[in-house]
Structure 1
């Protein structure tokens, strides 16, 4: 410190006459949201100020010299940066406070991390809106949870979200939320559609925006149950390298790489790349996933007002189909069983082999342009293009009457290509009218989903035969005979279907948060969509089906009253969602056209956000009513029909806390009551299939020892509870359901500045359980151990 003052004296002496300078700057969050009320000061001086609403600050009349600038705020990690003030030259700084700031070289002060839910709220609202101010429920899985639990896929993250449960197991899984199916098709608030779930190496955190969210997200990629939005890792202004390796049960071998570096000395150009190479087998006699993932990201701060970012995600994936078994079919409950434990299936048999695979490559490009129009207005332009393929053989099973005949069905896709194009323009304003603050987003959007595919099948439908039938109660001499060659041989003479389709959506929306007082705010939102579906065209016959044009409007209204400023709030909302249902190709080859579905949600509750992560709680009640529901046909479970209405109501509790140093608590509970109304007499008053369990619970706690001798050593324990989940539920066929179950997991880890060791155990008690949806069931994973090593440079 003495040398600093000597240098300051010498510099000041030889710089005479001295001209005082101005230091200007901008403080933003990791998601580029301006941060208001952050204190800026120069250490050991009287120079100090705070950022205004747009995140900017000014320090005037600063004498030349070297200083240590400190940026700090309640609930955020303080940062320090050495600066040099030169006579005759003003200084401009761009600073960022984010959860990863503790890794930066210039940081010497550690405090509680910023609230993760505030970052998620900004994505959900497309506005600089804190979670405490947001009238909608948002559940967030932090990076700490992802790391501690040793997650290797999306399902390993989603289990931490109250009420969200894995359902139908495909290459891109369906999940249920608030009684409705949803998928992970949103990335950083815009389209993230791919055929298979993306690798999680580039995921910083995952958020669930609960309930119908058509106002800002439309209907093409979301559901009435909510939005699953993966928030990705962003370039930082420091150099770091992290190399990770995970090895575990069932031949798990996973390599990850995270490289971050500024490309210019002034840190206006930042680069980051996340990559993964993954292989994992199965607890069954066959089954695997092999993938390679690369995600480079570039950020360029052109000037005070303009910045660009470009993200690319390249994913190569090949794997076997997960075992999807249809346990019931037309007519009465012909199996004589009402749950999987009563079926004559061998839990560890795949009834296939590793030659029957699907390939699911995808390439995604995300461009963003941010421009500050004025102190009160900014512009954001998003450009997205995704190319996703799905080629190979897809295998499913049907268990026939007599509970011994297992039919193997094959759907073959010689070619299947989907391209997504999205152009989105947002204008954000933060201004006052008559003394009242308004935060406004106005946006327009173009979305296109175009596909071209060919398909062939051995599935027992439309006069076609299945591949074969196995006697699961006796010898199965043909068990290993299924292969690409044998499938192609049986497809000889069966012509594939070639078709293409395209959906264009033109949208406009606006959402405004009006601060009626310091404590009371109102959100008013409206979206208009024009859908132009060109339908599906059979290339062979040149016949087009399912083409339609529709217009839909989606309003939203919300109120928030802060009982304790920035700490406790009451919230409520009315939210509308809609779903323009694309024509559905039925198993017999016919294409069914359906009316749009509409959902209206009333939701209310309380949120508490104490300093930092001391305590974050959301308790909510919701009631969703849906018109023109889609459901599984009672007589033909593989078919889809549109009939009647549905209500879905329930209670959710979400708790995240770091009450003392080293202790982390994450817990949730969800109760959902869903019923079909005004529908067929066989299902009216019953819980719809594909609604998931009525009750779910999740819990995880970890403690990192603070004692110097073993500092960094931590233990974690958690679990998930799922109540009964109906796969078939009607008065004709009866009921077939997945039994309630509790799954436990545990973790041991040792974390230091330069490395981290971890050992995780999933399904600790080795319990046999099933996931299910759309009339099928899939065995869940047995006990798995995963060892992890991460080295940091």
Structure 2
């Protein structure tokens, strides 16, 4: 009887079934993976053809699950088996693609969703474990949407919109532009030419770390930092050729080749090429671009990785200074296609960035990483542009249909260098896991001697032998005497450069004879700065709690009046702490909180504006953020939410000085606070989705009475985006798919004229796809409803209209 009861009790004890599936980072099922479960007992299975596996009759308790297969990094996970059936989803990283300290080799994934990021911490980490908000767009999303420039990509990022049509963004209410060194390329500080957004064909992804990033990257915008990640080599052969044709005489040829160079795959290559010849809907505007982006990775052994990246872009275009309205302020008073350019104008830019990065493992728990990048930029500009004012009559009044004009002829160069080196090592103290990073950064920017600008502006003097400016204050003192200084015709002051007649666009846009204009030669003063910084960071794991603790000390050196006889050196320092915590509520949900600080000098070298004035105090900022990150549907779908407050003091704003439109003034304090939501991933294997919403209240708290309590310029309170794509995988319509997107931007104030606004807008974008064999044919219709809108602006003389309805046909051949 006793034996009977013992047997009965044993067999009545609850057991469970543990099922799962295994994929690589490209969402491909992995067969033949050895899966071991160790704990109360030891169980071993091998995954099937669909990557599936199952453990039967598992006793409840604490276990460790191990998964391994040749060519992939080993996988390990703690798991609690309960007295009911469970399912887990596992991703294995290729050994050439495991979570690297620096990105040396490429990614095979073909999905909208990312699991890891390199932007939020030195070295890679899971996005769910990062106590700060990150938005991103993969190359797959960019291709599906027909996005070819970063300004088109940012609609997918909560809290990010265009400030102008240049390489110029607003992140959480704060401006970030390509000249300000707050942009990154492969995690290294870089700069663009600002005027033009480069093509994205060589990019693996674009990502944004929200909030001050100075503890990681030095001087940066408090709103966030943009990181463009280039495509890295793969250890398998892939070739891709893309042709694009569309509205406004658009034509592009893009190629992407990658694979091993030798038999043992120790040397890998990738080559991205791009050619663009396109007009725009804006009068006289065009873009001709050549992009050459080779990348080589050398992996001599399992512990050593070296990568060399080059991105070269040759751009030929005209500079678009925006749309001007009649002085009555009617947004419909001029066509959105109107530009003030002439056929004489040109903007020739050449930009290169070369990056050398290496990583060396020092055993299982330590590595050393180093990277150096150098960016060079050359500008050759000739333009007819508005003078940010209307022409004057002899009564000192604006002539509503005449925009005062000026001519700029400018040549300049800029060079940026960055070095980062850090050690990464893991140490456990009992049950507490530490991942320490200790490193050093060096950065510099040089605008060398030799840059200069010819400027023709103002009005002709009475003797018609020079140009003079109109000063409203002096005119008011004695109008009749003051006007005698000017050459007058038909009741108007005769301009040095003919005014642009908004009522006679065709004649105003003719080629101009500039030989009669009076030019002044302005030397653009050379500038130079450099910085040294050291930082220490510890990622701590205590059970379900993770801490991210960091501190950076930066010593910044700038040269006032660089290379002049009165050159002086100025130094500033900053201590930048960072604190973050992540708590794992469940297998699906992490919650987090963070506090970060920011710092950005405002010197001659960083402002890139010799007419700004100054000297100015550095920007100082801080952010508090709380949020949650989650993954669902076996890690195919992610969702996140964040609430934040950012404070900054010493911001520069336009001084609204009519005699110096470029002069700046320093505002006392700003605050930005809001909420953000993001959803990314796959609802099914055929249905992908990306959605976001952001509310942002960004106000000037201390400054002049005119600025106080206003929403910051070009910072909408509401932003929302939805994009979804569905592909038919089976049946007679297999290979056919469609995409649909809706993008909303709220009303915005402009940055120079504080009382002027541009309206909210909603855009509808659509796409149709057809895959047949190794080819894909794609049609994108962006702004399908032909909504009239503006993406940003300075005032009603410089507005930046958004594209009307446009079509883009893409033919992609992979082999």
Are the equivalent residues in 2 in contact too, given 1:77–1:113 (CA < 8 A)? Answer: no
Counterpart contact for 1:286–1:349, Cα < 8 Å? no
Q: Bigger CA drift: 399-408 or 374-383? A: 399-408
Structure 2 CA distance for partners of 1:239 and 1:736, relative to 1, 3 Å = same
Pairs within 5 Å for 1:542-557: 544=567, 548-557=570-579
1:578 aligns with 2:599: yes
SS at match of 1:709: coil
Aligned-pair distance for 1:97? 9.1
Alignment-derived partner of residue 179 in structure 1: 173
CA distance in 1, matches of 2:97, 2:616: 51
Determine helix, strand or coil for the equivalent of 1:125: coil
Q: Give the corresponding residue for 1:469.
A: 499
1:727 counterpart = 2:725: no
Q: Measure the CA separation in 1 of the matches of 2:211 and 2:293.
A: 30
Equivalent in the alignment of 1:7: none
Structure 2 distance, partners of 1:739, 1:123, is 34
Match in the other structure for 1:108: none
Assess, with a 3 A threshold, how the Cα gap between structure 1 residues 115 and 572 changes in structure 2: closer, same or farther. Answer: farther
Q: CA offset at residue 497 of structure 1?
A: 1.2
**1:586-601 to 2 correspondences below 5 Å:** 589=611, 591-601=613-623
Pick which of 319-328 and 201-210 moved more: 319-328
Alpha-carbon separation, structure 2, partners of 1:300 and 1:146: 29
1:76 pairs, out of 71, 91, 103, with 91
Structure 2 CA distance for partners of 1:476 and 1:746, relative to 1, 3 Å: closer
The structure whose Rg is larger is: 2
TM-score, normalized by length of structure 1?
Answer: 0.82
Report how far residue 228 of structure 1 moved: 0.9
Q: For 1:767 and 1:262, locate their aligned partners in 2 and report how far apart those are by CA, in whole Å.
A: 47
Report how far residue 562 of structure 1 moved. 1.0
The one-character-per-residue Cα deviations of 1:356-400 (angstroms, maximum 9, x if unpaired) are: 111110121110111011211101110111111111224432352
Give, in angstroms, the shift of residue 145 of structure 1. Answer: 1.2
- Name the residue aligned to 1:659: 683
Seen in structure 2, the aligned counterparts of structure 1 residues 532 and 51 have a Cα distance that, compared at 3 Å, is farther
Task: Supply the distance in 1 between the matched residues of 2:764 and 2:656 (Cα, whole angstroms).
Answer: 35
Between the two proteins, the alignment pairs up a number of residues equal to: 697
Q: How far 1:345 moved relative to its partner?
A: 2.1
Structure 1 residue 612 displacement after superposition: 5.2
Of residues 402, 406, 410 in structure 1, which corresponds to 2:403? 406
* In structure 1, distance between residues paired with 2:93 and 2:191: 37
**Which aligned pairs between 1:142-161 and structure 2 lie closer than 5 A?**
142-161=138-157
The corresponding residue for 1:481 is: 511
Q: Deviations over 1:390-427 (max 9, x none)?
A: 112244323523421112233221x2111111111021
Say if 2:775 is the partner of 1:755.
yes
Alpha-carbon separation, structure 1, partners of 2:48 and 2:756: 71
CA displacement at 1:224 relative to structure 2: 0.9
- What is residue 716 of structure 1 aligned with on the other side? 739
Aligned counterpart, 1:341: 331
- Name the structure 2 match of 1:645: 669
| Compared CA separation, residues 589 and 734, structure 1 to 2 (3 A) | closer
2 CA distance for matches of 1:648 and 1:430?
37
What is the CA distance between 1:234 and its match in structure 2?
Answer: 1.0
Matching of residue 618 in structure 1 with residue 612 in structure 2: no
- Compute the displacement of 1:133 (Å): 1.0
CA RMSD between the two structures: 3.3
Task: Quote the Cα distance in structure 1 between the aligned partners of 2:678 and 2:412.
Answer: 40
Q: Please report how far the alpha carbon of residue 613 of structure 1 lies from its aligned counterpart in structure 2 after TM superposition.
A: 5.0
Q: Structure 1 residue 463: deviation in Å? A: 4.6
- 2:626 is matched with which residue: 604, 610, 617? 604
Mapped contact 2:214–2:599 kept (Cα < 8 A): yes
Within 1, Cα distance between the matches of 2:773 and 2:288?
A: 31
Q: 2:164 maps to what in 1?
A: 168
Distance in 2, matches of 1:685 and 1:632, equals 16
2:352 is aligned with 1:363 = yes
Q: How far is 1:470 from its partner?
A: 1.9
Q: Report the Cα distance in structure 2 between the residues aligned to 1:537 and 1:94, rounded to whole angstroms.
A: 46
The answer to whether the 8 Å contact 1:497/1:538 transfers is no
Contact conserved, 2:325 with 2:331, CA < 8 A, in 1?
A: no
* TM-aligned CA deviation for residue 468 of structure 1: 2.4
Deviation at 1:609, TM superposition (A): 1.5
Residue of 268, 276, 279 corresponding to 1:278: 276
Instruction: Tell me the SS of whatever aligns to 1:605.
Output: strand
Q: Describe the shift of the 1:446–1:327 C-alpha distance in structure 2 as closer, same or farther (beyond 3 A).
A: farther
Aligned to 1:530: 555
In 1, Cα distance between equivalents of 2:561 and 2:250: 40
Higher alpha-carbon deviation: 450-459 or 463-472: 463-472
Deviation at 1:204, TM superposition (A): 1.2
CA 1:327/1:631 → structure 2, altered by over 3 Å: closer, same or farther?
farther
1:511 to 537, 540, 543: 537
Contact 2:323 / 2:336 at 8 angstroms: preserved in 1? Answer: no
Aligned equivalent of 1:13? none
Change (3 A) 1:363 1:128: closer
Give yes or no for contact 2:112–2:140 (8 Å, CA) kept in 1. no
| Aligned with 1:495 (options 521, 524, 549) | 521
SS in 2 for 1:215: helix
